């Protein structure tokens, strides 16, 4: 397989391991997520979700992706134009190509697919030809005049820096994951172009360009700060660090660093992308202000702006645009009762929230971040995709009743791109190890095989989580190896037990996420069986309204049917009338006032109508 070519210093993410008081506290040490090419998904329904996404990726014609890039560069193209948000007249054109480069790079890295690698080479060669034809390092599917408008009118265009971010990130992934050095040179030239534009702008110009507090800001910058920090982590050119700083708006970072909630009314995906850049700034410069802002933002988001599955975004509290009436913004803190439109939970925001949680876990080792990643993996990310077609949603509505509106293959909305990329990474965030390779952390329970190459150890993980909460881990090694195995005990676990080579013992649960550590000499064939037991739980929608959602163990449940659900029950009556009908199929029932309701995990809901949040009277 093609391996990552990044240096170990770049791949390291430093964290401080914080285990619960019932387990030994270990000293601060580097911890890394295992490279994706060392984690293989085993046959399962999760693997099937990945396969459907790969089929979609294979179906896309590279020349159609290149069409508007060629036209912008003055190069003739006879390809059929793409539609949706990639159409020749749309200001966001080119963004999907960036996501596509990242997705291809991930698949080439994981599977060494020659056909996809050849497609990747072709795309890079042709994009380089466009860049050279444009001159000055400029590479985009829309003309430079978009930036002229932004810098003189401070609006009136559709997110040009957002689009450049996607393309630059794609190029960096082509370099770091698939090993094509030409892509790195192209990214450097793009940075030079941006640096040149920024050099003649005043501080007042920059403030006006990146003051994105209005509803649906037209100058969304995406994660341009993050990708420039990543570029600096490779180049070590101070110019790239200074350039990244220009995209860190102080009006956002300062109040967040002080713990002030300023999310109300902000366009969600515009600003969560910038927060990820704040994390990278702290990582590279150790500026405490940016760490505080990142951590505080995560706390504020999940305390007062997120739904039961960790998704966020919905109606603006004082809408001024059609979109802001129903979607894409954060509302007033702790007031979600009147936000359950059919367009909450934007998929881009969900993917970025998961990414930010991984960043925070990498730095702190706090199991609450791992706990949230597990929750969102099953209840926010996988439910975005249709189990029958592989299509994805722009929004994930949770009201009563709702349906998932799947995007068509030719829409190429922002969430088409982010989901296409994200579903090539369903094996991410499962396994982590420390710098000395004497400890292993397992944060996700997904059938998979870990190839721990540094130790010559293979870990096989089997089970049908989350419908079955029992997992088996088998160690394969040519010689005995000593390491600590740290298993996440999630917050929803009411009871837990573990068996090592048939010897069973119980695990303490506290209602808070923690790690259970097994420190031993491992030999070939050793087996660990983990069993987690969780019951029904009620989740109240913030805002002091009688609106609740129900989960069973790790799974957020949905009432099946197209009627509005209003239950004449108390909470205790509700819990006592919930039953498991078929655990293996994930079917649950509720008896209420002579009527029986059927509930299923949200990730299993496909084309039918459903309700997640319901009224409890």
**DSSP label of 408:** P
- Whole-number pLDDT of residue 89: 96
> How sure is the predictor about 404, in pLDDT bands with cuts at 50, 70 and 90?
very high
Q: SS3 string of 34-97?
A: CCHHHEEECCCHHHHHHHHHHHHHHHCCHHHHHHHHHHHCCCCCCCCCCCHHHCCCCCCCCHHH
Q: Please state, in angstroms and rounded to a whole number, the distance separating the CA atoms of residues 224 and 160.
A: 10
Task: State the CB neighbour count (10 A cutoff) for residue 438.
Answer: 15
Residue 385: strand, helix, or coil: strand
Closest of 419, 498, 431, 489 to residue 458, by C-alpha: 431
Token pair of 55 as six digits: 């089929």
Q: What is the pLDDT of residues 19-50, one digit of tens each?
A: 333 333 333 346 899 999 999 999 999 999 99
Say if residue 472's pLDDT is above 80.
yes
Strand order, beta sheet including 431-434: 13-15, 29-33, 431-434, 439-442, 481-489, 514-522
Say if residue 383's pLDDT is above 80.
yes
Among 123-127, 183-187, 213-217, 518-522, the minimum mean pLDDT is found in 213-217
> How sure is the predictor about 11, in pLDDT bands with cuts at 50, 70 and 90?
very low
Say if residue 429's pLDDT is above 60.
yes
Closest of 3, 17, 37 to residue 448, by C-alpha: 37
Contact 558, 599 (CB under 8 A): yes
The per-residue DSSP string of 1-28 comes to -PPP-S-HHHH-EEE-----TTSPPPPP
Query: End-to-end distance of the chain based on CA atoms, in angstroms?
Result: 57
Contact 385, 392 (CB under 8 A): yes
Phi then psi dihedrals of residue 367, to 5 deg: -65, -15
Say if residue 5's pLDDT is above 70.
no
Token pair of 564 as six digits: 């509005």
Q: What is the pLDDT of residues 262-286, one digit of tens each?
A: 999 999 999 999 999 999 999 999 9
Say if residue 7's pLDDT is above 90.
no
- Whole-number pLDDT of residue 30: 64
Mean pLDDT of all residues in 236-249: 98
Mean pLDDT of all residues in 500-528: 96
Mean pLDDT of all residues in 161-183: 98
- Whole-number pLDDT of residue 348: 98
Strand order, beta sheet including 457-463: 39-41, 448-452, 457-463, 470-477, 527-533, 495-500, 503-507
Token pair of 548 as six digits: 């609740």
Token pair of 28 as six digits: 């601060």
Residue 392: strand, helix, or coil: strand
Residue 139: strand, helix, or coil: coil
Q: Please state, in angstroms and rounded to a whole number, the distance separating the CA atoms of residues 396 and 389.
A: 17
Q: Which long-range contacts (CB under 8 A, 24 or more apart) does 573-579 make?
A: 574/538, 574/548, 574/550, 574/616, 575/536, 575/538, 578/536, 578/550, 578/552
| 0.85 surpassed by pTM | yes
Q: Please state, in angstroms and rounded to a whole number, the distance separating the CA atoms of residues 402 and 398.
A: 7
Mean pLDDT of all residues in 439-452: 98
Mean pLDDT of all residues in 554-579: 96
Structural domains of the chain in order of their starting residue, each with its CATH number: 432-533 (2.60.40.1180), 536-616 (no CATH)
Mean pLDDT of all residues in 229-234: 98
Closest of 277, 314, 315, 316 to residue 297, by C-alpha: 277
Where does residue 133 rank: exposed (0-12), middle (13-18), buried (19+ CB within 10 A)?
A: middle
Q: Please state, in angstroms and rounded to a whole number, the distance separating the CA atoms of residues 227 and 359.
A: 14
Averaged pLDDT score across all residues of the chain: 94
Closest of 534, 472, 475, 532 to residue 507, by C-alpha: 532
Mean pLDDT of all residues in 403-411: 96
Say if residue 93's pLDDT is above 70.
yes
Contact 326, 343 (CB under 8 A): yes
- Whole-number pLDDT of residue 219: 86
- Whole-number pLDDT of residue 12: 36
Q: Please state, in angstroms and rounded to a whole number, the distance separating the CA atoms of residues 550 and 5.
A: 45
Q: Please state, in angstroms and rounded to a whole number, the distance separating the CA atoms of residues 110 and 36.
A: 6
- Whole-number pLDDT of residue 152: 94
Rounded percentage of the chain residues whose pLDDT exceeds 90: 93
């Amino acid at each position: 397989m093609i391996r990552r070519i990044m240096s170990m210093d770049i791949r390291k993410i430093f964290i401080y391991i914080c285990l619960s008081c019932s387990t030994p506290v270990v000293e601060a040490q580097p911890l890394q997520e295992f490279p994706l090419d060392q984690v293989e998904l085993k046959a399962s329904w999760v693997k099937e979700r990945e396969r459907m996404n790969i089929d979609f990726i294979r179906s896309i014609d590279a020349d159609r992706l290149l069409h508007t890039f060629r036209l912008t560069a003055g190069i003739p193209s006879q390809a059929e134009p793409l539609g949706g948000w990639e159409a020749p007249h749309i200001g966001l054109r080119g963004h999907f190509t960036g996501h596509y480069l990242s997705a291809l790079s991930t698949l080439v890295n994981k599977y060494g697919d020659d056909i996809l690698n050849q497609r990747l080479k072709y795309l890079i060669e042709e994009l380089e030809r466009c860049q050279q034809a444009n001159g000055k390092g400029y590479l985009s599917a829309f003309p430079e005049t978009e930036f002229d408008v932004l810098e003189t009118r401070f609006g009136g265009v559709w997110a040009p820096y957002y689009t450049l971010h996607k393309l630059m990130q794609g190029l960096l992934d082509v370099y770091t994951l698939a090993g094509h050095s030409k892509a790195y040179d192209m990214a450097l030239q793009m940075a030079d172009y941006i640096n040149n534009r920024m050099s003649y702008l005043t501080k007042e110009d920059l403030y006006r360009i990146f003051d994105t507090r209005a509803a649906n800001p037209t100058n969304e910058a995406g994660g341009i700060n993050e990708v420039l920090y990543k570029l600096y982590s490779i180049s070590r050119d101070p110019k790239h660090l200074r350039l990244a700083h220009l995209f860190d708006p102080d009006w956002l970072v300062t109040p967040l660093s002080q713990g002030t909630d300023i999310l109300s009314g902000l366009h969600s995906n515009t600003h969560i992308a910038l927060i990820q850049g704040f994390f990278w700034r702290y990582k590279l410069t150790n500026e405490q202000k940016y760490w505080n802002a990142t951590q505080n933002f995560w706390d504020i988001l999940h305390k007062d702006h997120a739904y039961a599955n960790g998704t966020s975004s919905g109606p603006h509290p004082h809408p001024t645009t059609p979109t802001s009436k129903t979607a894409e913004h954060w509302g007033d803190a702790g007031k979600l009762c009147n936000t359950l439109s059919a367009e909450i939970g934007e998929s881009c925001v969900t993917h970025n929230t998961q990414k930010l949680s991984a960043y925070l876990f990498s730095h702190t080792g706090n199991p609450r971040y791992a706990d949230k990643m597990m929750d969102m993996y099953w209840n926010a990310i996988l439910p975005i995709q249709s189990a029958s077609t592989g299509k994805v949603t722009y929004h994930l509505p949770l009201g009563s009743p709702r349906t998932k509106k799947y995007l068509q293959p030719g829409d190429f909305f922002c969430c088409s791109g982010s989901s296409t990329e994200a579903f090539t990474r369903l094996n991410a965030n499962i396994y982590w190890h420390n710098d000395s390779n004497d400890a292993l952390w397992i944060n996700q329970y997904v059938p998979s095989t870990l190839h721990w190459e540094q130790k010559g150890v293979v870990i096989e993980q089997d089970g049908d989580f989350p419908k079955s909460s029992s997992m088996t881990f088998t160690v394969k090694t040519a010689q005995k190896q000593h390491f600590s195995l740290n298993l996440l005990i999630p917050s929803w676990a009411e009871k837990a037990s573990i068996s090592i080579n048939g010897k069973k013992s119980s695990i303490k649960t506290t209602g808070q996420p923690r790690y259970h550590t097994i420190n031993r000499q491992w030999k070939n064939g050793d087996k660990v069986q983990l069993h987690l037991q969780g019951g029904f739980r009620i989740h109240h929608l913030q805002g002091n309204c009688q609106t609740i959602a129900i989960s069973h163990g790790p799974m957020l449940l949905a009432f099946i049917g197209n009627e509005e659900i209003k239950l004449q029950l108390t909470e205790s009556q509700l819990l006592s009338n919930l039953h498991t009908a078929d655990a293996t199929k994930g079917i649950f029932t509720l008896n209420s006032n002579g009527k029986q309701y059927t509930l299923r995990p949200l990730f299993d809901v496909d084309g039918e109508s459903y309700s997640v949040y319901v009224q409890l009277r």
